[in-house]
Amino acid sequence: MQAQVDKYLAKLIRHGLIAGEADAALFGLDDVIFTNRDSVPAEASELFSLLNINSLLIARPEPMLWSIIGQLADGNPGLIRPRDCESLTFIHDIPVVPSLDPGPVARALSRRKGCIVRDTGIVTTGTVSLEQAFISMSSICFATFVKFFTGALNAAAGHSGAAPVDPAKRSACLELLERSAPRAFVEPLPRRLPAATEDEAVRAMDEAGRSVVEAGLVDSFFGNISCRDAEVVYISQTGSSLDELPGYIDRAFMDGSSTCEITSSSELMAHVRTYELTGDDAIVHGHPRFSVIMSMFGEPLEFGRTRFIGDVPVVAGEVGAGSRGLLHTLPPAMEDHHCAIVAGHGTFTSCTGSFAPALRRLSSIELMCYRACRDVLEAGKTG
């Protein structure tokens, strides 16, 4: 379990979720506690005794994010309700408690997978592995970031239901936005698709997946990626981390003739349908923050309707294959544009020849959305 502790501490830093090792305490419990700390603080011991868990993460997000969370918590005492799609599905809402007093924190964690502790940071748990605690931490950071800027944009634009924002707050918001600018995107090697061999396909997916994570275009373990070779689709497994794909790629068939794909991404059918409609060779799906924020800007998009950000279609749809699932709305949009944003969820891009064009498009859409966010805020500032 010590290996898990070390792995997720490194990941917290690599993903930019915390500023340094000192900002996170990770605990994994089998019959004894493993941790990155010299000793186990009383609060952690107490939480383990109050909760039937095997993993605990207490971390202070990097300063800018922590400042955003603080402002959000000020306006939402007790409970933050994110509206983005992944949060609605998986974390529902985020309790806020004032201090690391084990009693109230345990009560919050008895209800939800993680909570915000105002004087400490984010506390999350797992019953199977530290990976759960890491995912919840990452998801809370993503959800709060999106909620904060969506609220700021709607307020700046004077949309109905949004509270007016005073000029000082808007300036501070712009400053935070500047500091959150999308990272530079490093293109992976242009490996040819369809791949000549299965190994080549895995290598191409591995490199593409890592470049998506390194560019900050996906949070935690969400997002998925695939490439097609005639009747075979290579696709990342459900819950796999895009920067750790080798060993976690399923071989699915276009015609569904094997059920081995039961461990594939929940978006497998959307990928298959997109391949059928576009004839493309590769699909990349990330959760770029500003693309998600811009897709939630303004009135909520109704299921079945499409709007555009620049030339990029935005469609509605929940995760998976339910009656209101993105399976029904995403592929038709992809057929015409080879890219689409699913409102409140993330961006899909597809292409032929290699992963490179899809990755470039994912990155450029994010940059466009970032600039659009800035424009809205600045227009509000001058207006």
Partner 1 sequence: MNAYDYRIRALFVDVRSREAEFRELSPGLSGTFLGGRGIGALLLSDNPILDPLHEQAPLVFSTGALTGSRIPSSGRMAISGFSPLTGTVCSTSVGGRLALSMKRSGIDLLCITGRAVHPVVVAIDDGIVSFETLSLPLDAPLSRVFGELRTGPGSVAAVGKAAFGECRYAAIMVDGVFSSGRGGLGTVMASKNIRAVTVRGSGTFPVHDRQAEEDARRDIIRLFDASPAITGRPGLKHFGTAALVDLMASRRMMPTANFRRTYFEEYRAFSAGAIHRRFSPKHHACPGCPIACKQKAHSEIPEFETLSHFGALNENADLDAVIEANRICNEDGVDTITAASTIACLAEIRGECYTGARLVDMVRRIADSSGDGELLKLGSAVLARELGAPGKSMSVKSLELPAYDPRGAYGMALAYCTSTRGGCHLRAYPISHEILRKPVATDRFSFSGKARIIKISEDLNAAIDSIGACKFAFFGASLEEYARGFAAVTGLQIDHQDLLAAGDTISALERHINCLRGFTRKDDVLPLRFFTEPGTPGPGIEVPPIDRAAFDEALDRYYRIRGCTKDGTLTLKRREEIEQCRHR
Residues lying near partner 1 in the complex (CB under 8 A) are found at 1, 3-4, 28-31, 50-54, 88-90, 92, 106-107, 109-113, 126-129, 131-132, 135, 221, 237-240, 248, 256-266, 268-269, 272, 318-322, 325
Phi, psi dihedrals of residue 235, rounded to the nearest 5°? -140, 145
Distance CA 369, CA 365 (A): 6
DSSP summary character for residue 264: B
Nearer to partner 1, 9 or 65 (CB): 9
Contact status, residue 190 vs residue 356, Cβ threshold 8 Å: yes
Minimum Å distance from CB 83 to partner 1?
14
Nearer to partner 1, 43 or 261 (CB): 261
Nearer to partner 1, 113 or 170 (CB): 113
Q: Are strands 346-351 and 339-342 parallel, antiparallel or unpaired?
A: antiparallel
SS3 122: strand
Where in 127-178 does DSSP place strands (E)?
none
Nearer to partner 1, 328 or 337 (CB): 328
Minimum Å distance from CB 258 to partner 1?
5
Minimum Å distance from CB 307 to partner 1?
23
Nearer to partner 1, 283 or 368 (CB): 283
Nearer to partner 1, 39 or 259 (CB): 259
Q: Do you know the residue count of the chain? A: 383
Minimum Å distance from CB 237 to partner 1?
6
Could you tell me which of 16, 1, 22 has the C-alpha nearest to residue 216?
16
Could you tell me which of 160, 151, 202 has the C-alpha nearest to residue 376?
151
SS3 90: helix
Chain centroid to Cα 73, Å, comes to 20
Nearer to partner 1, 33 or 208 (CB): 33
Minimum Å distance from CB 353 to partner 1?
27
Contact status, residue 236 vs residue 268, Cβ threshold 8 Å: no
Minimum Å distance from CB 309 to partner 1?
25
Minimum Å distance from CB 23 to partner 1?
23
Nearer to partner 1, 119 or 199 (CB): 199
Nearer to partner 1, 112 or 118 (CB): 112
Minimum Å distance from CB 298 to partner 1?
23
Could you tell me which of 91, 93, 90 has the C-alpha nearest to residue 79?
93
Complete DSSP assignment for 323-351: TTBGGGTHHHHHHHHSEEEETTTEEEEEE
Chain centroid to Cα 50, Å, comes to 30
Which two tokens mark 101?
A: 């007093």
Burial 149-167 (b: 16+ CB within 10 A, else e): bbbbbbbbeeeeeeeebee
Minimum Å distance from CB 253 to partner 1?
10
